[in-house]
């Protein structure tokens, strides 16, 4: 049986030649060059790669942050980041699913005189990552894990978390949800063709919440959640407070992966309108600002009662909202509408749907999802296209 990583290997022999505007190149071809030509070519690619809009901004941001730290890079391609950060003092483990990419990087690193700081690991299967010995301080995945189906990326992630030191960092570049929407909401087997060329077998959208779900049950704190490159790229930097949670059994972890649809739950109209439209929920706010439109009775779901609760548990609601006018605020509450138990998130009208995630600050399950007008002096209308209740990751 040919597995997914074999198909992916066939594509990723062809890697980004530095910046996102300078195309791609086969590592196998690069290996045919003399040492001198290889170095000269790599330096030219690296100059393009270091453009402020592409890698330059994070080279400046992180600069010497990894000095003395052991960083593992998932999908190191032609080694631009590893070389940059080894020069500022990091120890770097290059890993890739393509052997030739690693052979190229090893030759490069030797030629640059940085071998003492470098290690290499070929990812034949996710389980090969179990071969990493010792602890690591940072996981660096720049545009790699989103090219595998979630379950494969999750396997790699969970193995790496076993080696990550508590308080270590998880830093990842991905394609944001908005890019996926903009480019036609294609199946992931097709989306990659638009983002990385015809031969690309897979690309998934991510946002910070989906990355956290892949790391779950690890607990994390968001350090940076950022979009750049004209909205084409997302960047997430998480501090991983507890990489492994040995207090949770496999069945407890499994139970916490379940989700419940909230759009079929009873609703209460307040100073606006809420009504079911097919599987969606349309709402209309009235002026003035902060008038409650209505609320969804999350407490009518038996979901929370099916999940084993501990004091560390938090609840999340993921929403996809199309807002055609005004601005709306979304918040989770207790029994009383003024008892906010999540941060209120406000969205402004846009032509495309938007995603947001509300997370409680307490272990008690939320009783309601409240919607209110967040536009000063205007009305707001929109549609909740989807809504899901789950355990926060
Ligand atoms: C778009 S390139 C990015 C390369 C490099 N990180 C950079 O910033 O230039 C994607 C890289 O991820 C690797 N890759 C693809 N799928 C992977 C997976 N499931 N696990 C690890 N690496 C993967 C590819 O071989 C390739 O080197």
**Of the candidates 199, 181, 179, which has an alpha carbon nearest to the alpha carbon of residue 189?**
199
| Pocket of ligand 1 contains residue 19 by CB under 6 Å | no
Residue nearest to atom 1 of ligand 1 (CA): 143
Angle CA 237–239–244, to nearest 5: 125
Which residue out of 13, 97, 202, 206 has the highest number of ligand 1 atoms within 8 Å of its CB and is therefore the one to mutate? 97
* Superfamily classification of domain 253-391: Galactose-binding domain-like (2.60.120.260)
Measured CA to CA, the distance from residue 93 to residue 100 in angstroms comes to 16
Domain boundaries, the chain: 4-246, 253-391
- Whole-number pLDDT of residue 377: 83
Ligand 1 closest atom vs CA 81: 8
Residue nearest to atom 27 of ligand 1 (CA): 77
Read off the tokens for 157: 């992630």
Angle CA 73–79–80, to nearest 5: 105
Read off the tokens for 96: 């890739």
Whether cis (ω within 30° of 0) applies to the bond prior to 286 is: no
With a cut of 70, list the residues of the chain below it in pLDDT.
1-2
Pick the CATH number of 4-246 from 3.40.50.300, 3.30.420.610, 1.10.540.10, 3.40.50.150: 3.40.50.150
- Whole-number pLDDT of residue 1: 53
Ligand 1 closest atom vs CA 141: 6
- Whole-number pLDDT of residue 245: 87
């Amino acid at each position: 049986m040919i597995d997914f990583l074999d198909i992916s290997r066939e594509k990723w022999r062809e890697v980004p030649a530095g910046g996102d505007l300078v195309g791609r190149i086969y590592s196998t071809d690069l290996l045919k060059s003399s040492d001198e030509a290889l170095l000269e070519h790599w330096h030219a690619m690296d100059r393009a790669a270091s453009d402020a809009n592409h890698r330059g901004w994070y080279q400046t941001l992180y600069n010497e942050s990894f000095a003395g730290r052991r960083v593992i890079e998932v999908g190191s391609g032609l080694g631009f980041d590893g070389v940059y950060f080894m020069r500022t003092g990091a120890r770097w483990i290059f890993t890739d699913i393509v052997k030739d990419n690693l052979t190229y990087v090893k030759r490069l690193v030797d030629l640059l005189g940085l071998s003492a700081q470098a290690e290499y690991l070929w990812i034949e299967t996710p389980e090969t990552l179990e071969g990493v010995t010792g602890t690591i301080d940072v996981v660096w995945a720049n545009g790699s894990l989103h090219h595998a189906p979630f379950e494969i990326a999750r396997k790699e992630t969970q193995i790496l978390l076993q080696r990550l030191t508590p308080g270590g960092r998880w830093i990842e570049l991905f394609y944001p949800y908005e890019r996926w929407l903009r480019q036609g909401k294609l199946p992931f087997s097709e989306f990659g063709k638009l983002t990385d060329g015809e031969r690309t077998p897979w690309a998934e959208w991510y946002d910070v919440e989906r990355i956290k779900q892949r790391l779950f049950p690890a607990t994390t704190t968001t350090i940076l959640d950022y979009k750049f490159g004209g909205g084409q790229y997302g960047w997430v930097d998480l501090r991983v407070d507890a990489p492994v949670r040995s207090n949770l059994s496999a069945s407890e972890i499994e139970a916490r992966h379940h989700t419940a649809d909230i759009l079929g739950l009873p609703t209460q109209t307040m100073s606006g309108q809420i009504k079911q439209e097919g599987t969606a929920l349309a709402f209309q706010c009235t002026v003035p600002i902060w008038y409650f439109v209505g609320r969804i009775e999350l407490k009518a779901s038996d979901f929370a009662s099916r999940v084993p609760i501990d004091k560390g548990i938090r609840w999340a609601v993921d929403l996809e909202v199309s807002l055609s006018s005004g601005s709306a605020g979304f918040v989770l509450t207790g029994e009383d509408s003024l008892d906010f138990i999540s941060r209120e998130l406000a969205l402004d009208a846009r032509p495309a749907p938007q995603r947001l995630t509300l997370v409680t600050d307490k272990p008690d399950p939320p009783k309601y999802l409240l919607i209110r007008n967040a536009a000063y002096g205007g009305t707001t209308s929109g549609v909740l296209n989807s809504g899901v209740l789950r355990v926060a990751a």
